[in-house]
Amino acid sequence: MIKTHTLGYPRIGLQRELKFALERHWRGEIDAAALEETGAALHERHWAEQADAGLDFVTVGDFAFYDHVANHIQLFGCEPARFGFDGRETALARYFTLARGVAHEHADGICCGNAQHAGTAALEMTKWFDTNYHYLVPEFDTATRFALASERLLGEVAQARSLGHRVKVALIGPLSFLWLGKTRDAGFDKLELLDALLPAYVQLLAQLKAAGAEWAQVDEPILGLNLPGAWILAFERTYQTLNTAQLPLLLATYFSPLEENLSMACKLPVAGLHVDAVRAGHELQSIADWLPAHKVLSVGIVDGRNIWRTDLDAALARLLPLAQRRGGDLWLAPSCSLLHVPLSLREDGAMDLELRGWLAGAREKLDELQVLRRALAEGEGSVWLELREARAACEARRTSTRVRRPEVAARLAALSPNADRRASPYPERRAAQQERFNLPLYPTTTIGSFPQTAAIRAARAAHKRGELAQPEYEAAMRREIDHAVAEQEALGIDVPVHGEAERNDMVEYFGEQLDGFAFSANGWVQSYGSRCVKPPVLFGDVARPAPMTVAWSAYAQSRTARPMKGMLTGPVTILQWSFVRDDQPRSATALQIALAIRDEAIDLEAAGIGIIQIDEPALREGLPLRRAAWDGYLDWATRAFRIAACGVQDRTQLHTHMCYAEFNDILPQIAALDADVITIETSRSDMELLRGFGSFAYPNAIGPGVYDIHSPRVPSADDILRLMRKAAEVIAPEQLWVNPDCGLKTRAWPETRAALANMVQAARLLRRES
């Protein structure tokens, strides 16, 4: 029997209905009942889409008001004690407190800095494997207890059943759930909680069965990681136990090959196994060999991480032998949850028909599964029209002159071997730059953006809608630059920036001006909670028809005698935050982007911009899930950065910036970027992150962030002094810069001004000390 299903579906809604309902609820404009109604309407609609597309089951349990990991925290009754819930709050209110924390706010928006006023911090947020989706991190300690504590999931199953759907429930498996959490006590091993957690799972599975669920899909994506032995060993026992609930289990893996866990995963006492045939297609054969014939093999044949239409002929060629060989059931599915792609792209009004025809959103991917199922079950003749249409679209994409631009490939091939190296080693560049800029010890700067006020957003939006003509728009942006420069002059910032008022997003801004990128109107993907991103579609060879930032930076430089820092986004970050081509390696695409950024840096330099920053906040998040693949990635990623950065002369000072990262395991590669200055996010780790740079003897200059820009709290000069003194214990003062953790676009001016004034004061005190 061939069946189709999906591991999960986008939850935010085509018009981002969930986002807007959530935000209205948080502002107190709609009550919990109205929000629940929106949520229920959305998942009912999404189940209907799955049923209409002919899937054998609808997936229940993938919906969440904020995040599915947070749902599990409530489901298993392990809300951290630090939130101090007293039993009077509703489950939904507690849920949003876990997700968003309790803020302490002063009337003027500036916090006095009293630690008592910090409020209760939300659960930490971190990236879900190598995606751009952020989950809320469970917190575990020796006192953690588990008990089924939420009826929500059972309610959803009942709701789906009452609508006549056949139900498969999606759950995060117990081992992945524990793995994803963090522990506060250093010596504590989360795995010790497994025995306490399993009974709650068993009880839940039994209840789901009683409620009419036919299958439970239990996601264990950690099977694609390099796991410690104890975790690997725990799988057998875990699934023996879960099996006692007698609800058929589909163990789901994705994002990464199983490798050393492959035979173990095939032998676990579960009724079926799902594998990611896009990222781990090379294992399909051995899985088909290892997986006992009575078990279901679910093949993730349609890419759940990208938006290209599936090459159905190629998919069928891979599926046919499996269908012929395996006696047991063969299920077809997307490679992973469709949470990571937009709901639909075929009808998107912002893109031309040709391009749209190459794409598939979640809905279209479900249709592809149906075509594949029918072709296998009833013969290709039963779907010849659909196959022909898909074939034509793939062929059009393959041969389009919009995709291939031979001059780009030719330029890359002709690149000199020295293109990724600066002319002279760092010490010589340093001397040249010092002579040119004569910066004081502990120079001060910011990371790029200044507050994006309502006026700025309104001007940008009006310009985009065509309601604000180009000259008026430019005048408005120049006024913002004037303002940002004047503020920085008054504050005494040594290396000012223009403020990035003209940028809506650090990737979109560049993508819109580069050839090879397209933008959808509604291609939203959830990033966290109500936050969605609309990643650009990088469909073709990249080229830069004209300078992208030079006019703004040159204007900003004309307003000050201080060296204005030009601001670019790096190739790896542009790659990482876009939907990119699957018809050439990511490395090739990264190098093409690198060339465009290189040209921009050279043009900035020619326009008199002597300091240029190339942001690469996503460099680390691009690391493959498997360690063995790290070197290969780091090789091309760092080369792409250097190609972008190394077109400038020695006397031009090249900065880079990275945030949200644990750098210690890639320090050699960060040093190999050879940026003259790197600014990093460090304040929340209390400068601990810098120790690694110290022991590695990081050679170039470094600006460890001195305050957290995510919070309205204004750091005192003393706070900053303390952090910088700590920094100076591990990095020589001559190497240190003073700057915030990241860009200031989400902040307001009063707290920004106050914080930067303290930062400049701290830098002056440091200079006096040394």
- Write out the catalytic residue numbers: 710
Q: What angle do CA 357, 360, 362 make, to 5 degrees?
A: 150
Total interface residues for Zn ion by CB under 5 A: 3
Which of ligand GLN, Zn ion, none does 468 bind, CB closer than 5 to 8 A by kind? none
Which of Zn ion, ligand GLN, none does 506 bind, CB closer than 5 to 8 A by kind? ligand GLN
Residues in a beta bridge with 535: none
Which of ligand GLN, Zn ion, none does 49 bind, CB closer than 5 to 8 A by kind? none
Q: What span, in angstroms and rounded, lies between the C-alpha atoms of 566 and 498?
A: 8
User: Measured from the CB atom, is 430 or 745 closer to ligand GLN?
Assistant: 745
User: Measured from the CB atom, is 503 or 713 closer to ligand GLN?
Assistant: 503
Task: List contacts with ligand GLN (CB under 6 A).
Answer: 447-449, 500, 506, 567, 615, 617, 657, 659, 742-743, 745
CB atoms within 10 A of CB 577: 23
Residues in a beta bridge with 3: 331
**Minimal distance in Å, beta carbon 510 to ligand GLN?**
12
**Minimal distance in Å, beta carbon 450 to ligand GLN?**
8
Which residues, in sequence order, are CB contacts of 5 under 8 Å at separation 6+?
A: 55, 56, 57, 59, 168, 217, 298, 331, 332, 333
**Minimal distance in Å, beta carbon 122 to ligand GLN?**
19
User: Measured from the CB atom, is 71 or 576 closer to ligand GLN?
Assistant: 576
User: Measured from the CB atom, is 256 or 553 closer to ligand GLN?
Assistant: 553
**Minimal distance in Å, beta carbon 744 to ligand GLN?**
7
In this structure, are residues 753 and 715 in contact, taking their beta carbons and an 8 Å threshold? no
User: Measured from the CB atom, is 9 or 641 closer to ligand GLN?
Assistant: 641
Q: Which residues of 356-374 are buried (b: 16+ CB within 10 A; e: fewer)?
A: bbbbbbbbbbbbbbbbbbb
Q: Point out the residue whose Cβ comes nearest to ligand GLN.
A: 743
Does the footprint of Zn ion cover residue 706 (CB under 5 A)? Answer: no
**Minimal distance in Å, beta carbon 568 to ligand GLN?**
9
**Minimal distance in Å, beta carbon 613 to Zn ion?**
11
CA 45 to chain centroid, in Å, comes to 26
Residue 595 has which token pair?
């060339």
**Minimal distance in Å, beta carbon 617 to ligand GLN?**
4
Q: What span, in angstroms and rounded, lies between the C-alpha atoms of 70 and 137?
A: 8
| Tokens 């499996």 -> residue | 322
User: Measured from the CB atom, is 217 or 452 closer to ligand GLN?
Assistant: 452
User: Measured from the CB atom, is 520 or 576 closer to ligand GLN?
Assistant: 576
Which of Zn ion, ligand GLN, none does 448 bind, CB closer than 5 to 8 A by kind? ligand GLN
User: Measured from the CB atom, is 178 or 497 closer to ligand GLN?
Assistant: 497
Which of ligand GLN, Zn ion, none does 449 bind, CB closer than 5 to 8 A by kind? ligand GLN
User: Measured from the CB atom, is 39 or 448 closer to ligand GLN?
Assistant: 448
Q: Which of 71, 232, 61 is CA-nearest to residue 138? A: 71
Candidates 128-136, 152-160, 494-502, 617-625: pick the segment binding Zn ion (CB under 5 A).
617-625
**Minimal distance in Å, beta carbon 739 to Zn ion?**
10
Rounded to a whole number of angstroms, the CA Rg of the chain reads: 27
- The alpha helices in 696-748, defined as continuous H runs, are 717-730
**Minimal distance in Å, beta carbon 567 to ligand GLN?**
5
Candidates 48-56, 62-70, 507-515, 737-745: pick the segment binding Zn ion (CB under 5 A).
737-745
In this structure, are residues 188 and 142 in contact, taking their beta carbons and an 8 Å threshold? yes
CB atoms within 10 A of CB 576: 23
**Minimal distance in Å, beta carbon 460 to ligand GLN?**
15
User: Measured from the CB atom, is 43 or 620 closer to ligand GLN?
Assistant: 620
Task: Provide long-range contacts, Cβ within 8 A and 24+ apart, for 428-433.
Answer: 428/650, 429/650, 429/651, 429/653, 429/676, 430/676, 430/700, 430/701, 432/650, 432/651, 433/650, 433/651, 433/652, 433/653, 433/676
In this structure, are residues 271 and 296 in contact, taking their beta carbons and an 8 Å threshold? yes
Task: Show the site string, 32-71: x = touches Zn ion by CB under 5 A, - = not.
Answer: ----------------------------------------
**Minimal distance in Å, beta carbon 520 to ligand GLN?**
22
Q: What span, in angstroms and rounded, lies between the C-alpha atoms of 638 and 678?
A: 14
Residue 197 has which token pair?
């957690």
CB atoms within 10 A of CB 619: 27
Task: Show the site string, 91-110: x = touches Zn ion by CB under 5 A, - = not.
Answer: --------------------
Q: What span, in angstroms and rounded, lies between the C-alpha atoms of 32 and 93?
A: 9
Amino acid identity for residue 44 in this structure: E
| Tokens 């939850």 -> residue | 11
Task: Show the site string, 738-767: x = touches Zn ion by CB under 5 A, - = not.
Answer: ----x-------------------------
Which of Zn ion, ligand GLN, none does 745 bind, CB closer than 5 to 8 A by kind? ligand GLN
In this structure, are residues 276 and 254 in contact, taking their beta carbons and an 8 Å threshold? yes
Q: What span, in angstroms and rounded, lies between the C-alpha atoms of 278 and 303?
A: 6
User: Measured from the CB atom, is 35 or 673 closer to ligand GLN?
Assistant: 673
Calculate helix-pair angle for 32-52, 362-378, nearest 10 degrees. Answer: 30
Q: If DSSP states are collapsed to H, E and C, what string results for 60-80?
A: ECCCCCCCHHHHHHHHCCCCC
Task: Show the site string, 646-685: x = touches Zn ion by CB under 5 A, - = not.
Answer: -------------x--------------------------
User: Measured from the CB atom, is 179 or 663 closer to ligand GLN?
Assistant: 663
Residue 50 has which token pair?
């799955």
Q: Say what the alpha-carbon torsion angle 423, 428, 429, 432 is, to the nearest 10 degrees.
A: -120
CB atoms within 10 A of CB 268: 20
Q: Which residues of 37-57 are buried (b: 16+ CB within 10 A; e: fewer)?
A: ebbeebbbebbebbbebebbb
**Minimal distance in Å, beta carbon 755 to ligand GLN?**
14
Residue 107 has which token pair?
């009337």
In this structure, are residues 532 and 526 in contact, taking their beta carbons and an 8 Å threshold? yes
Q: What span, in angstroms and rounded, lies between the C-alpha atoms of 232 and 76?
A: 23
Which residues, in sequence order, are CB contacts of 418 under 8 Å at separation 6+?
A: none
Q: What span, in angstroms and rounded, lies between the C-alpha atoms of 675 and 642?
A: 8
Residues at the contact surface with Zn ion, assessed by CB under 5 A: 617, 659, 742
